[in-house]
Chain A
Amino acid sequence: MSPKIGVVTFPGSLDDQDAVRAIRLCGGEPVSLWHGSDDLDGVDAVILPGGFSYGDYLRCGAISRFAPVMAEVIKSADAGMPVLGICNGFQILCEAHLLPGALIRNDVRVFVCKDQDLQVESADTTWTSDFTRGQMITLVLKNGEGGYVADEDTLRRLEDEGRVIFRYVNGNPNGSFHDIAGICNERGNVVGLMPHPEHNVDRLTGPTQDGRAFFSSVFDFLTAKV
């Protein structure tokens, strides 16, 4: 049986259907989850998709973080369930304190939309085990508030513990500290990144198929666990 991956739709989510499609294309069973639900419908993993949930009111992810479904997501993440936050999903994970730090407006002060080169810094997470450390990949990046910031202690801890998992290369597009594009929690089951793996799963719509490894990684993990 293929793994069931939930994709949460918040009001203002944009890439939820792309995530659902990517899961299906990569061999998983996507399950659409509603932000107002307090049940995860028995999924094995959860993706918080990109977009502008709650219109980015207050701060990106600040209101979504308190959506009923998030109580379950936080509980399950703490219990080890794989959770991936993409773009707005990454912002939500930071607001929910499942990941440290915060995302602020791009230092270039414009919305950035480009094919972004990245270096894989860690394959030791649930979502990146099919990559190799040091691998160069390209994923679509599109955001207005993707500047990753955290205090010095947090940055040091992330670096020392190998929890910076993707770094921007060939130019920092948004002023992120330490060129950070993605990080994970201590356990490696919660991953957040600004670029969009779900837009990079087929030749027709993406510059690469580098996003597929996120899905194959989590499928491997879930299959091995069963």
Chain B
Amino acid sequence: MARVVVDVMPKPEILDPQGKAVTGALARLGFAGMSVRQGKRFELEVEGEVTEERLAEVRRAAETLLANTVIETFDVRVEPAPASAAEDNDAEDNDAEDNDGADDNAAEESTADENEAESAEEAELTAQAG
């Protein structure tokens, strides 16, 4: 999995009322000399290797949906992978001591099933909505 970031900004010639409001608020708070334009940042977790073709596909997605090129510009870039979080293996060590660990695992498993059921339901809802 690689992270591709799409930044979307209002075009310079297009009025940015949100940025203007933020600029005004900053000035009122004493942050002088700061002019803000507000955009959007999309983080895409992309499966597989990020090839030129894949990036071209992301650009197509940005042009199709993420940005409205009538009023916005977009920029696509690959973000370096974050340091992977240390994996938590403590639960396995406890198994040998008593049965609680096994019970915990069972509980975890049923939660996982529930989550799966929930996300399946969600997917169905999305399909209906979409």
Binding site for B on A (CB under 8 A): 11, 36, 58-59, 62-63, 66-68, 94-95, 100-102, 104-107, 109, 147, 149-151, 175
Contact = CB atoms under 8 A, between A and B. Distances in A.
A58 B20 CA distance: 19
Given A59-B68, A95-B68, A107 B128 contact: no
Interface in B11-48: 14-15, 17-18, 20-21
A15 to B, nearest CB: 20
Contact of A11 (B21, B70, B129): B129
Contacts of B18: 105
B128 A175 contact: no
Contact of B68 (A62, A107, A109): A62
B17 A104 contact: yes
A53 to B, nearest CB: 11
11 contacts: A36-B129, A62-B65, A63-B65, A66-B65, A95-B68, A101-B70, A105-B17, A109-B20, A109-B21, A147-B15, A149-B70
B82 interface: no
A149 B72 CA distance: 12
A150 to B, nearest CB: 7
Interface residues of B, number: 15
Interface in B77-130: 128-130
Interface of B: 10, 14-15, 17-18, 20-21, 65-66, 68, 70-71, 128-130
B83 to A, nearest CB: 31
B65 A175 contact: no
A109 B22 CA distance: 11
A94 B70 CA distance: 10
Contacts of A63: 65
A106 B17 contact: yes
A95 B70 CA distance: 9
A100 B71 CA distance: 11
A104 B68 CA distance: 11
Contacts of A59: 68
Given A149-B14, A175-B15, 10 more contacts: A58-B66, A62-B68, A66-B65, A67-B130, A94-B70, A102-B71, A104-B10, A109-B17, A147-B15, A149-B71
A102 B68 contact: yes
A66 to B, nearest CB: 7
A104 B129 contact: no
Nearest to A145: B17
B42 to A, nearest CB: 10
B65 A104 contact: no
